[in-house]
Amino acid sequence: MKPFFLSAVLLCLALFSNAQKQGAFLTENDLKGKVKKVNVFLYTDRDSETDTSRAPFITILEFDQKGNLTKETRPGNKIISYKIDYRNNSDNTITGKKHDSDGDLIGGITFRYDSLGSLIEIRRENSMAGPPRQTFKNDDKGFCTEIDNFVDDEVIGSKTLITYGENGLKKSRKTYGVKGEIMDSESFDYDSLKNIVEYRQYFPNGYLSEKQLFSDRNRDQNDNWQLRIITRASHTHDYLFELHYVIVKRRIEYY
C-alpha cells in the first residue's frame, strides 16, 4: 500500500496532480475562476471530521492570470520547508526549481508537452518525489492511457494503465511490474456533477486495501470547495479494519 500521506495528498489536493494538458492545471484540479493563490491546510489521521486540534500540513500555490502555476511553497511545519518556482517555456516545457529554506537548489522537475498540449514526459532531479522519469501515451482524445515509470534514465521499472468512463473522467489505474505482475490497482467514482465521491485501492491479490469517501462543503462564489472531508477506511496486511478522517481546507484568493 502507498504511504498514507502520499495517498491522501494525491487525491484531495489540487497541487499534487500533474496537469495532463498544458495550461489546464486549474480546471483539471477542480479550481474555477481567476485564481491567484490557494492556501491548503491538510489535517491527516484525525479521529473525527471536526478534529483540527493538531497542526496541519500547509502548502501555498500561486498562479499567473493565465492559470499557470508559478510557485509552490511549503512553509516549515511537520515536514521540511521548500519553494518551487515554475517557468513556462517556449519549447513546450514547464520547468521547476526547488529550493530549501536557505535558498539552496535541492531539486528540479521538467514537464514536456507535445504540439497539442498533452503531457508526454516528466523528468525529476534529486529531492523531487516520484520516479526520475515518466513517459506518457495519450489516445486520440488527448487522455493519458499509459505511463512508463523509469528507475533511471533508460530502464523502465513499471507500467501504469489508465481507463476512463463515459463522463471522460479517470475510472481506474493499474500498475504492473516488468514481468507483468500487478503491483497496484485503484478505482474512482464520481457524482453526476463530476465531483469525486469515492476512491478505492487494492492489494496485488485483489483484496480491498483502502477506501476513501469524499464530501465537499462550503463552496465559494466561484463554486470552489473550501472544505473537504475524507472518510478513510483501510485494511492492514492482516486485514484489520481502521477508520480515520482527513480534513482539507482551502483558502482561495482571486484576481
Best CA proximity match to 49, nearest among 242, 232, 235: 232
Best CA proximity match to 1, nearest among 233, 169, 188, 248: 233
Q: Is the pLDDT of residue 79 over 90?
A: no
Q: Whole-prediction pTM value?
A: 0.86
Residue type present at position 37: K
| Model confidence band, residue 16 (pLDDT cutoffs 50, 70, 90) | very low
Helix (H) or strand (E) holding 111: strand 105-113
> What does the pLDDT look like over 204-251, one tens digit per residue?
988 888 999 999 999 999 999 999 999 988 876 665 667 889 999 999
Q: 158: which residues sit within 8 A by CB, 6+ positions away?
A: 149, 175, 176, 177, 178, 183
Total count of domains within the chain = 1
| pLDDT at res. 11 | 43
C-alpha cell at 53: 486540534
Best CA proximity match to 233, nearest among 247, 246, 224: 246
Adjacent-strand bridge partners of 185: 174, 202
Radius of gyration over every alpha carbon of the chain, rounded to an integer in angstroms: 18
> What does the pLDDT look like over 164-177, one tens digit per residue?
999 889 999 999 99
Range(s) of the domain holding residue 132: 4-254
Task: Return the percent helix, strand and coil in the chain, to nearest 5.
Answer: 5, 55, 40
Mean pLDDT of 32-56: 89
Adjacent-strand bridge partners of 152: none
- Which CATH number does the domain housing residue 102 bear? 2.40.160.190
Long-range contacts of 101-107 (CB under 8 A, 24+ apart): 101/76, 106/82
| Model confidence band, residue 200 (pLDDT cutoffs 50, 70, 90) | very high
